Amino acid sequence: LPEAELAVGYTINNTQTLRQAGQDLLTLTQAQQILITRGDEGMSLF
C-alpha cells in the first residue's frame, strides 16, 4: 500500500479509498489491470 498511496497522493485506510485508488491508478497508468498488495490483508485486483 505505501507505493500505491505515494502514486495517488492520499492515504488508503479503508475499502472506499482502496477502491478509489484502484480506479485512479488505472486512469493514471492507462493499464488494463492494477494489483495492489495489502500485506496481511491480501491483494486487490482492479
Mean pLDDT over residues 30-40, rounded? 97
**Phi then psi dihedrals of residue 32, to 5 deg:** -80, -30
pTM for this prediction? 0.90
Mean pLDDT over residues 8-22, rounded? 98
The Cβ of residue 4 has, within 10 Å, a number of other Cβ atoms equal to 20
Give residue for cell 477502491.
19
pLDDT at 45: 98
pLDDT at 43: 97
Give the structural domain span for 8: 2-45
Task: Quote the CA–CA distance of 25 and 8 in Å, as a whole number.
Answer: 7
Task: Quote the CA–CA distance of 10 and 42 in Å, as a whole number.
Answer: 20
Give residue for cell 498488495.
37
Q: Kindly state the DSSP code that residue 21 receives in the 8-state scheme.
A: H
Domain count, the chain: 1
